[in-house]
Chain A
């Protein structure tokens, strides 16, 4: 799992340009991962430039135009309130991107802190923190998120925090696991024996080498975060303003008009799937390129 224990074949060792550069070149040769990058770039581009790309505002529409099928004026049709579905899907990327990325960063911060303290200090701190992690993992992910949103009330920051808390215990376990395996490695023992202090050992030597599994997990978590945010929206726990263009909330309307307006399902649904596929492809590619032993 770690760089220290990876056996690099002699031929590759000569050509090595460092772990990260090597990984980067391996990644660029990985076609599915590059497709993932393209999808992610598309997703981020749409999120950033939604106001320029969208022909209408996300809240603009008249009841006279309601439930129109896809056509010239509205490439993805219109919704229940006569709003342009295409514009709303584009704007929806903003909510998903912000909520997805923020929740993963929040989860990484909380989980990373718990994992670093548990794996770095060990002993009683480890025992207590890992029991906390066990408690969080005892509740199935989406149910934990639902409980947190129910408790903190609806709102985008609450949703981000809720999704972050479903990821945090997983990140904590991953980081703790790789730190524990590093503690016994030769180079850590060596730096300890020349008198490196605890914090220095942890920050300078152990953490940088235990990041690879965390990076992979975080990339894959972006896919599930986008899905979970939409899931909360679908259950009616999305942003408090029901007019907000959020993919999951938009799908709630689709359930009521599946027969008359199936486009209300297909377009927001496809948007969620495309962004999730992007992050899943990149995550798998990163795993393979950061850990050369994974290659088949």
Chain B
């Protein structure tokens, strides 16, 4: 197992090197002088000179690259041109919001998708199956922003059941310690704020979770149908086992693996989808940070947030693969 993890970690190294090269080129291939491009046309010559020195633009290119990597390895992911804050710090402050949203979306997608897929498989080729198929087709065809705005319109504007945007009531005085609204509200013993935080989370989580929900439903349905045709299921039925027992002990145990794989694969899509969902719902996470940075042409923030996102994505994929290898010994030895 350790050997497998070591091999997977080694495989991530060339990807990270390649990505750092691409992102290094991102800044250096900006039209015109990189320092001017970063600071904008109206920057004073002194600031441009300071930026040139910060980026070591007078050094040979390879030295600039090594310098960039050395900074990254020291945890220096650059400084925002707009507000002078270190990118890593800004990222870490906002990341809990994105984690909260992503985890909630995943819980929604798996919590609804798996039972829905099992239900469709049990009624395969009959009308309940058809309904589930249409729902999952719509799930992958409705963009996150269209669904998000529609949910906002129905549940916030018309019915007024749920808040339209934000992470918590702006009038609430919640002391943020971990930057996870749900955790901080519990830490300060404010159940009312916890419930308010949950209410704010529902619509964005549904919007973001709709695509994974559709995919998980499809995979669960297909996987259950695959296993249901196996000889050992027929044997179990022939020896007189009840349907519930067959389902729990024989079908689902073997149908889990593809479902788990797909769950892991969805994380990347969720992180990407969070960028758009956060924009729709005014959710102060990392996604909003990137979009604001692009609109402000804060290239250093864009460059390094993409790098940190990719790092997170690689780590998540690694964890999923290790979990998967743990669940399925056949993978470890291949």
User: Which positions in A face B, CB cutoff 8 Å?
Assistant: 131-132, 134-135, 138-144, 146-147, 149-151, 153, 223, 227, 230-231, 234-237, 248, 251, 254-255, 258-259, 262, 265-266, 269, 272-273, 276-277, 280-281, 296
Contact = CB atoms under 8 A, between A and B. Distances in A.
A237 B295 CA distance: 9
Contact of B19 (A139, A237, A262): A139
B302 A258 contact: no
Contacts of B180: none
Contacts of B141: 223, 227, 273, 276-277, 280
Contacts of A266: 150
A210 B145 CA distance: 36
B306 interface: yes
Contact of A143 (B29, B31, B290): B290
Contacts of A144: 306
A266 to B, nearest CB: 8
B208 interface: no
Given A141-B272, A223-B141, A258-B149, A296 B302 contact: no
Contact of A150 (B269, B273, B294): B294
Contact of B269 (A141, A230, A277): A141
Given A143-B306, A254-B149, A135 B295 contact: no
A142 B137 CA distance: 20
Contact of B146 (A150, A237, A259, A273): A273
B18 A150 contact: no
A80 to B, nearest CB: 16
A151 B153 contact: no
B205 interface: no
Nearest to A279: B141
Interface string B263-282: 00000110111011001100
A142 B275 contact: yes
Which of B157, B290, B294 counts the most chain A CB atoms within 10 A? Answer: B294
Interface stretch (B60-68, B193-201, B248-256, B308-316): B308-316
A2 B299 CA distance: 45
Contacts, number: 124
Contact of A142 (B14, B15, B157, B273): B273
Interface residues of B, number: 47
Nearest to A235: B291
Contact of A236 (B268, B269, B295): B295
A131 B15 contact: yes
B137 A151 contact: no
Which of B141, B149, B268 counts the most chain A CB atoms within 10 A? Answer: B141
Interface of B: 14-15, 18-19, 22, 26, 29-31, 124-125, 137-138, 140-146, 149-150, 152-153, 157, 225, 268-269, 271-273, 275-276, 279-280, 290-291, 294-295, 297, 299, 302, 306, 309-310, 313-314
B18 A234 contact: no
Contacts of A281: 137
Closest 6 CB pairs of A and B: A140-B272, A135-B18, A269-B146, A276-B141, A142-B272, A138-B310
Contact of A135 (B15, B137, B153): B15
Contact of A258 (B22, B153, B269): B153
Contact of A134 (B18, B144, B302): B18
A150 B299 contact: yes
B142 A273 contact: yes
A135 B22 contact: yes
Contact of B153 (A131, A234, A262, A273): A262
A149 B306 CA distance: 13
29 contacts: A131-B18, A138-B19, A138-B313, A139-B310, A140-B313, A142-B272, A142-B273, A143-B271, A150-B297, A151-B26, A151-B29, A151-B30, A223-B141, A227-B141, A227-B143, A231-B144, A231-B276, A234-B279, A235-B279, A235-B294, A236-B295, A254-B149, A258-B153, A265-B150, A269-B150, A273-B138, A273-B146, A276-B143, A296-B125
A74 B145 CA distance: 25
A149 B297 CA distance: 11
Contacts of B157: 258-259, 262
Which of A138, A147, A230, A280 counts the most chain B CB atoms within 10 A? Answer: A138
B330 to A, nearest CB: 19
A258 B155 CA distance: 12
A265 B302 contact: no
A19 B22 CA distance: 42
A154 to B, nearest CB: 10
